[in-house]
Amino acid sequence: MATGFFWDEKCFWHSGGNYAFTLPVGGLVQPLAAGGLPESPETKRRLRTLMEVTGLTRDLDMRSADMATREDLLRVHPETYLDEFKRLSDTGGGELGRRTPFGAGGYEIAALSAGLAKEAVRAVHAGELENAYALSRPPGHHCLPDFPNGFCLLANIAIAIEAAKTDQGLGRVAVLDWDVHHGNGTEAIYYGRDDVLSISIHQEGNYPLDSGFIEDRGRGAGLGYNMNIPLPAGAGHTAYLAVLDEIVLPALERYQPDMIIVACGFDASAIDPLARMLATAQTFRDMTLRIKDAASRLCDGKLVLVHEGGYSEVYVPFCGHATLEALSGSTITAPDPMAEPLKIRQPGPRFDAFLREVIADQADIFDALPEG
Ligand SMILES: [Zn+2]
């Protein structure tokens, strides 16, 4: 069975508003020549283009999908929010939340982005594909049911999970969010539930500023099923792998999911403009291999990665290519042109020892997770 890769050119046509980086243009903020938010289509388009140039696309099952239906969206988002989003989208576009502008037809593009994730989850759960990657855009992990933020307009992963639960009887799902920003939307949606384990690894105090704390572990039936792993700025390759080995993999073992979904951002990379971490393409390759191995032991290999952030137009393609190589087991590779300089810039032994302590201190959040 093949690895599916879900993408659609229309998702690259989602347009941000009149921004210069994350600042609205106006006053003393001059428009950029190649303007717009950092969430640009180029990071994603260049990933797909690189895969085509190396030939990796020929080892994958390349597919598109239908838009998520209104019924799909209503399982996660209130009618009032969807109506207002659709109304603005039909009348030229606008902005509903914080840093989430969209152009005319933005509603349909966001529904397609969610549809790619939905179809990836459906096909993997149905056993049509070994595993899958959804190149969703706009991203989804920050989106609350009624408030879009952080470039996210619909909660793609939650929409996909809820559709598979309704249509296919999908059981327990573990969502691992390694985007460098806190997965506050996924957390909010599943905070009171035990049928979805939500784990977020993120840079502490980055975005959103007021969430992602270790103490936030869920409530009611969901108590223990929300895990936040904030890391200090500067964490690199060994820290990320240590978090996986010491916290995430044992948590997955204990939870015994029926499917693992990764909120796959590449903004923990060393040259991302929206974060201060030091992960490399090799980090993403190694994390993917570890999660793929966990999925094969725990849930018949059922694993779906859904694209989130990652804002280096030059480096995201190499991180993504390494991830897709690992996911598919393809031998077609795109050697990381920044491997050497980024290796030299990894944390030194003293900061590494500090990071080890931070990670060891957090291991108790895993103890709060009830046995599966
Ligand atoms: Zn992010």
pLDDT per residue as tens digits for the range 68-102:
999 999 999 999 999 999 999 999 899 998 889 99
Q: Per-residue pLDDT tens for 102-121? A: 999 999 999 999 999 999 99
Q: What is the pTM of this model?
A: 0.97
Q: How far is CA 103 from CA 16, 58, 132, 248, 249, in A?
A: 7, 33, 29, 38, 40
Q: CA-CA distance, 99 to 23, in Å (whole number)?
A: 9
Residue-level pLDDT at 178: 98
Q: CA-CA distance, 178 to 141, in Å (whole number)?
A: 11
DSSP 2-13: PEEEE--GGGGG
Q: CA-CA distance, 3 to 34, in Å (whole number)?
A: 35
Mode of pairing for the β-strands spanning 101-103 and 93-95: antiparallel
Q: Bridge-partner residues for 304, per DSSP?
A: 132, 261
315-325: b (≥16 Cβ within 10 Å) or e: bbbbbbbbbbb
8 Å CB contact between 123 and 132: yes
Q: Which residues are catalytic?
A: 142
Q: Per-residue pLDDT tens for 291-317? A: 999 999 999 999 999 999 999 999 999
Residue-level pLDDT at 27: 85
Q: CA-CA distance, 174 to 199, in Å (whole number)?
A: 8
The first and second tokens of residue 114, run together, are 């969610």
Q: CA-CA distance, 176 to 197, in Å (whole number)?
A: 8
Residue 17 has pLDDT above 80, yes or no: no
8-22, 211-225, 260-274, 343-357: which range is least confident on average? 8-22
- Each domain of the chain, given as residue ranges in start order, spans 3-13+35-65+112-366
Report CA(127)–ligand 1 centroid distance (Å).
30
164-182: b (≥16 Cβ within 10 Å) or e: bbeeeebebbbbbbbbbbb
Q: Residue 35: which pLDDT band, with cuts at 50, 70 and 90?
A: low
> What are the CB-based long-range contacts (under 8 Å, 24+) for 19-25?
19/99, 19/101, 21/273, 22/99, 22/274
Report CA(1)–ligand 1 centroid distance (Å).
31
The first and second tokens of residue 29, run together, are 């903020």
303's enclosing H/E stretch is strand 303-307
Topology of the domain covering 3-13+35-65+112-366: Arginase; Chain A (3.40.800)
Report CA(114)–ligand 1 centroid distance (Å).
17
The first and second tokens of residue 324, run together, are 């897709």
Report CA(274)–ligand 1 centroid distance (Å).
8
**What residues have a C-beta under 5 A from ligand 1, the ion?**
179, 181, 265, 267, 309
Report CA(206)–ligand 1 centroid distance (Å).
9
- The residue assigned the tokens 């140039």 is 53
